[in-house]
Amino acid sequence: MNSGFVAIVGPPNAGKSTFLNHVLGFKLAITSDKPQTTRHRLLGVCNREESQIVFLDTPGLHKPMRALNKLMVRTAMAALQDVEAVLFMVEASAKGLAEGQRVAGMLAEAKKPVVVALNKIDLVRDKAALLPMLERVAGWAEWAAIVPLSAAKGDGAAAVLRELAGLLPQGPAIFPEDMITDLSERFLVSELIREKVFALTNQELPYSTAVTIDEFIEPQNQRGVVAITATIHVERQGQKGILIGKGGGMLKKIGASARLDIETMLGQKVYLDLFVRVEPKWSSQAHGLRKLGYEE
């Protein structure tokens, strides 16, 4: 069989996490219409009959301003050193192609074979426009392959996997076949809560939040309730008020929505208790990043 590591890279909001969740058949990476949702490098194991592709989903490559964003970009670039091949996701739109061309120059330094997935083709109304898009992408560099893709619908996903598997060396599986990720349930729970913050709040607030798990108490049997206590950290007192909402309404909405997804993931009933805490300028300071779990 062919087995190895593949980094998923691209500009923010190109559909990297949506693709990973689809091929894994499991919601590993949180998704949002807002860019820069992924902050950590996520490992996901995709097992097929003749291949095991270990994906490293990375934060979107963008121009960093805060310490958090700089860490995210370093995380994405570092992943390129640890893989046999790269999946480069580009959105099939004028804006997506402009952002993709910028990122293409960054990938040249990695000197790894790259498969380009021109994603979100389902949103292109004039299908005749796809060929010029593909030709434009082909002119950026020498690619191993370019594959049209709709990660949301799964169209083209099998072709992407075939192209990537062909770039990997032959050898035994790296991880057990029943393994999907090396991430802990506590981490996945914190990400699901953060996803709801992104979905239900606006402007700068989602980008100023981090989630930590204070308690994760498992029941003595499968029929019991998992008790989880979590804190959503913000940077300013005003953000805390918005996140809690009038009469606690916003925090209740976030908690109720997150709890349903957590129960689906764990396969058990969940009691979720959320708190909000102000952590001034955490996203701009190294000690704040370390305190809230963001490390190199």
**Rounded Cα–Cα distance for residues 60 and 53 (Å):** 20
pLDDT in the model for residue 66: 61
Q: State the amino acid at position 131 in one-letter form.
A: L
Q: Which position has the higher pLDDT, 204 or 70?
A: 204
pLDDT band at 33 (very low <50, low <70, confident <90, very high): confident
Q: What is the mean pLDDT of residues 119-138?
A: 95
The percentage of the chain sitting over the pLDDT mark of 70, rounded to a whole number, equals 92
**Rounded Cα–Cα distance for residues 77 and 239 (Å):** 31
Annotated binding site, which residues? 10-17, 57-61, 119-122
The percentage of the chain sitting over the pLDDT mark of 90, rounded to a whole number, equals 67
Comma-separated ranges of CATH 3.30.300.20 domains in the chain: 185-291
pLDDT in the model for residue 32: 76
Order of strands, sheet of 269-278, starting from the edge strand that comes earlier in the sequence: 210-217, 225-234, 269-278
Q: Which of 41, 56, 60, 57 is nearest to 5 (CA)?
A: 56
**Rounded Cα–Cα distance for residues 100 and 104 (Å):** 6
Comma-separated ranges of CATH 3.40.50.300 domains in the chain: 2-165
Please give the structure tokens belonging to residue 81.
């050193």
∠128-129-132 over CA atoms, to 5°? Answer: 110
Strand 269-278 relative to strand 85-91, pairing: unpaired
pLDDT in the model for residue 74: 72
Q: Which of 139, 82, 73 is nearest to 106 (CA)?
A: 73
Q: State the amino acid at position 189 in one-letter form.
A: V
Annotated binding site for GTP, which residues? 10-17, 57-61, 119-122
DSSP secondary structure code for residue 170 in this structure: B
pLDDT in the model for residue 252: 97
- The per-residue pLDDT for range 147-161, each reduced to its tens digit, is 999 999 999 999 999
pLDDT in the model for residue 58: 78
**Rounded Cα–Cα distance for residues 290 and 37 (Å):** 19
In CATH, the number for domain 2-165 is 3.40.50.300
Query: CA-CA distances (angstroms) from residue 82 to 2, 86, 125, 142, 182?
Result: 17, 10, 38, 21, 16
Those residues with Cβ within 8 angstroms of residue 223's Cβ, 6 or more apart along the chain or in another chain:
none
The domain made up of 185-291 has a fold known as GMP Synthetase; Chain A, domain 3 (3.30.300)
Q: Which of 114-123, 174-183, 219-228, 277-286 has the highest mean pLDDT?
A: 114-123
Please give the structure tokens belonging to residue 78.
């570092």
pLDDT band at 283 (very low <50, low <70, confident <90, very high): confident
